[in-house]
Amino acid sequence: MFIRYKVMRHVIVFLIAMLLSFRSAAGVAPGLFTVALKAPGGNKNLNLVVGFRGGINFSQPLVIHSNEVLQSQTTGRLFEKKYASLFSNFGYQYAFMAMVYLQASTSLSFEPGFSTYRYNYTTLTGWTNGTDATDYIEYAASHRNSLSYFELPVILRHEFNGNTVTPFVSLGVFYGLMTGAEKRMTSEITRHTGTASIPYETASMVSNNTSSYIRSRMGISGGGGFFYPLGPVKLMFSIDAGLGMNNIVNESQRYFNAATTAGMYDIQDDLKLWSLNLNIGILFNTGTNQAGKAVECITFKRKK
């Protein structure tokens, strides 16, 4: 996880450096970094834009079927998960973008990148001491699950005319390959005797939980945003919702991770995952785009 944070930091630094370099090149023609590409089988220019994007996401699991390790002595204290709300589940993503304009206002983009999603929940159960309902032992735990994927989204965007900014709507599909999963848990055992509460034990654990999930995740996404031109580059601000279509939990390996089943007394519910994704990107024009820039070959221009 630490390595991915370092990679994300380097990507952000690179984007800032590129932006500053373009801004400082005010005396150089905007077409300095443009190139004319030919579409296959014709003379029409292929309108290609490349760049990077990165941002944050908020995830929410959609439970298909609940599962548990522990069972309570009474139905009044069932061992069940209480999932955190959407904005409590914070993650991040970053990706490369290669966008081809099919028409003046319609583009198709391939955006391979890495995403980390997190979702949290708490569990609570208890056992009474005989027939005295006021004398019982309570087991409470907080769980944080982190899932990392290498994703391959394909996104269709349609842009609308604007004076300063260019708004757009988007629709896409994605396929993700899991690169790892981690589970963190903190727990507390407390005995309650009438009006007194006696803490027995507190614990904190971390476990590799990759085997609890299948390797793939696929789904659809929809959203919108806008482009903001800035000299030879343009900035992108977008928000979209990604809805996973398949159960990401490995049912055949549900009880095989001893660190979670015996150590944390927990297994995963069958679930799909959806996320709200916010991105900021920087794009570099390589030909005629929707703003009407002329196509030029790569040249190196000297100031006289």
Distance from CA of residue 173 to its chain's centroid?
A: 14
pLDDT in tens, 60-95: 999 998 887 776 555 455 567 899 999 999 999 999
According to DSSP, residue 21 is labeled H
pTM, to two decimals: 0.79
C-alpha span between 278 and 257 (Å, rounded) = 34
For residue 107, pLDDT beyond 90 = yes
Task: Tell me what pLDDT residue 61 has.
Answer: 96
For residue 224, pLDDT beyond 90 = yes
User: Structure tokens of 153?
Assistant: 């989204």
Q: What is the residue extent of each domain of the chain?
A: 2-285
According to DSSP, residue 67 is labeled -
Beta strands in 194-215, from DSSP E residues, in sequence order = 196-208
- Answer yes or no: are the C-beta atoms of 233 and 285 closer than 8 Å: yes
For tokens 């023609």, name the residue.
Answer: 29
For residue 39, pLDDT beyond 50 = no
Which residue type occupies 50? V
Distance from CA of residue 255 to its chain's centroid?
A: 27
Highest mean pLDDT among 16-20, 21-25, 42-46, 98-102: 98-102
- Answer yes or no: are the C-beta atoms of 78 and 107 closer than 8 Å: no
Q: What is the mean pLDDT of residues 146-152?
A: 98
The residue among 168, 171, 169, 173 whose CA lies nearest residue 154 is 173
C-alpha span between 178 and 210 (Å, rounded) = 8
Q: Residue 292 region, left (φ>0) first, then alpha (ψ -120 to 50), else beta?
A: left
- Answer yes or no: are the C-beta atoms of 295 and 288 closer than 8 Å: yes
More confident residue, 120 or 232: 120
pLDDT in tens, 256-271: 878 888 778 888 999 9
Task: Tell me what pLDDT residue 114 has.
Answer: 98
Task: Tell me what pLDDT residue 135 has.
Answer: 82
pLDDT in tens, 161-220: 988 899 999 999 999 999 999 999 999 989 888 788 888 889 899 999 999 999 999 999
